[in-house]
């Protein structure tokens, strides 16, 4: 395959907008292109994920990427060795590297490879949630920007909660009311979060941010503050939720949990990590083992309880920014690394029992 074909796939996909909930046009591009690259069975499932397969063996390797993006971003441009545009890093670059490498490798008789271009990763993870019970993979590689020489071992967990207060009205001179109480509750939650292990790196401690705030006074008074709380490995979701609810209650406001997912991590000697590290070393680079402060479909895929790791081209510091762009050389190098890493997975796990 010519390198120009590999670049064209990424360029076409980045040029096609696919914000969460509006992935249809980009998914249609994949439906047309995937068979041309050698994927044997291509379909769009009930929630809009594009799923492609090669091989028919009982041992399944899942290449899990996502096709959706956040809004905004720079205008598309391909200038020399730099491709600009929303999704170039997060995460169409990693997704295209999966598509090309996964189509190029030899699939042993005992194995099959499934590529998932998931929808909704940036919002509610509806794509991967739909696929969890449909697969029992022996291994999984998740496509997110790690840099061509990076392998991510862990992502923090997440709690999305809404603090809410309301009353039937009152004069602010003697009754601060639910707007004040809700803000004070949020502030106290942040004080508690910031008091725990403040000297640890961000990836190893709790942190939080405000997603949105609203409030009004009319016939009554009401207020809402939505918080995004991130949890490190080892921190139990239930304990954090209980603390949030107790603090909220002390200020007379409620705390509704909209979403929660646990932190997840794998060890440096995980077989998939080892397969990627070996491929990176063979390419002439020194592999970097990384931890991420955010959350991703990686957390959801933990339910598969199989060897896994995160890999893909792109600088994660450019995710969701107006400067999002990817180096073409890094993108192409990542394809070559995956073409080496995927057979490594087959080899390392080749003698292990298929999961029940």
> Are 227 and 329 contained in the same domain?
no
> Are 188 and 274 contained in the same domain?
no
239 in a structural domain: yes
356 in a structural domain: no
> Are 151 and 224 contained in the same domain?
no
> Are 133 and 257 contained in the same domain?
no
354 in a structural domain: no
> Are 171 and 319 contained in the same domain?
no
Can you give the pLDDT at residue 261?
96
> What is the spatial distance between Cα 335 and Cα 328, in angstroms, rounded to a whole number?
11
> Are 50 and 183 contained in the same domain?
no
> Are 161 and 148 contained in the same domain?
no
Burial class (CB in 10 A: 0-12, 13-18, 19+), 200: exposed
> Are 235 and 139 contained in the same domain?
no
Domain-ending residue, one of 221, 241, 261: 261
CATH number for the domain that contains residue 169: 3.30.70.360
Can you give the pLDDT at residue 237?
96
Can you give the pLDDT at residue 108?
96
7 in a structural domain: yes
Domain-ending residue, one of 223, 238, 261: 261
229 in a structural domain: yes
> Are 217 and 193 contained in the same domain?
yes
101 in a structural domain: yes
What domain range includes position 67? Answer: 3-155+264-349
pLDDT tens for the chain, 356 residues long, are 679 999 999 999 999 999 999 999 999 999 999 999 999 999 999 999 999 999 999 999 999 999 999 999 999 999 999 999 999 999 999 999 999 999 999 999 999 999 999 999 999 999 999 999 999 999 999 999 999 999 999 999 999 999 999 887 776 666 677 999 999 999 999 999 999 999 999 999 999 999 999 998 887 899 999 999 999 999 999 999 999 999 999 999 999 999 999 999 999 999 999 999 999 999 999 999 999 999 999 999 999 999 999 999 999 999 999 999 999 999 999 999 999 999 999 999 985 444 43
Can you give the pLDDT at residue 2?
72
> Are 148 and 10 contained in the same domain?
yes
Can you give the pLDDT at residue 176?
73
Structurally, how many domains does the chain consist of?
Answer: 2
Beta strands per DSSP E along 129-274? 139-143, 150-155, 157-167, 207-217, 221-231, 254-261, 264-265
> What is the spatial distance between Cα 128 and Cα 26, in angstroms, rounded to a whole number?
17
pTM over 0.75: yes
Residues 319-328: pLDDT tens digits? 999 999 999 9
Residue 74, both tokens: 């720079």
355 in a structural domain: no
> Are 9 and 129 contained in the same domain?
yes
CATH number for the domain that contains residue 99: 3.40.630.10
Q: Which of 117, 110, 132 is nearest to 261 (CA)?
A: 132
27 in a structural domain: yes
Domain-ending residue, one of 261, 296, 326: 261
Can you give the pLDDT at residue 216?
87
> Are 225 and 146 contained in the same domain?
no
């Amino acid at each position: 395959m010519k390198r120009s074909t590999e670049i064209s796939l990424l360029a076409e996909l980045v040029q096609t907008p696919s914000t969460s909930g509006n992935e249809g046009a980009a998914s249609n591009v994949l439906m047309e292109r995937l068979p041309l690259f050698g994927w044997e069975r291509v379909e769009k499932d009930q929630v809009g994920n594009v799923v492609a397969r090669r091989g028919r063996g009982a041992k399944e390797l899942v290449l899990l990427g996502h096709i959706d993006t956040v809004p905004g971003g720079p205008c598309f441009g391909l200038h020399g060795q730099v491709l600009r545009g929303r999704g170039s890093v997060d995460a169409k670059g990693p997704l295209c590297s999966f598509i090309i490498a996964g189509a190029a490798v030899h699939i042993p008789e005992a194995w099959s490879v499934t590529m998932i271009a998931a929808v909704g990763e940036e919002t509610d993870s509806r794509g991967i949630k739909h696929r969890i019970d449909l697969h029992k993979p022996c291994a999984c590689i998740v496509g997110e920007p790690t840099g061509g020489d990076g392998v991510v071992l862990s992502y923090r967990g997440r709690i999305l909660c809404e603090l809410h207060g309301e009353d039937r009205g009152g004069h602010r001179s003697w009754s601060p009311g639910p707007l004040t109480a809700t803000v004070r509750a949020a502030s106290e939650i942040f004080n508690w979060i910031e008091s725990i292990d403040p000297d640890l790196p961000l990836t190893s401690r709790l942190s939080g941010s405000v997603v949105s705030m609203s409030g009004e006074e009319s016939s009554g008074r009401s207020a809402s503050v939505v918080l995004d709380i991130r949890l490190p490995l080892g921190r139990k979701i239930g304990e954090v939720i209980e603390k949030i609810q107790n603090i909220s209650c002390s200020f007379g406001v409620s705390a509704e949990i909209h979403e929660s997912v646990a932190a997840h991590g794998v060890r440096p000697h995980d077989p998939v990590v080892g397969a990627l590290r070996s491929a990176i070393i063979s390419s002439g680079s020194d592999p970097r083992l990384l931890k991420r402060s955010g959350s991703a479909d990686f957390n959801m895929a933990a339910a598969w309880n199989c060897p896994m790791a995160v890999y893909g081209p792109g600088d994660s510091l450019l995710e969701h920014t107006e400067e999002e762009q990817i180096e073409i050389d890094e993108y192409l190098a990542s394809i070559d690394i995956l073409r080496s890493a995927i057979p490594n997975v087959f080899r390392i796990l080749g003698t292990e029992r298929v999961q029940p």
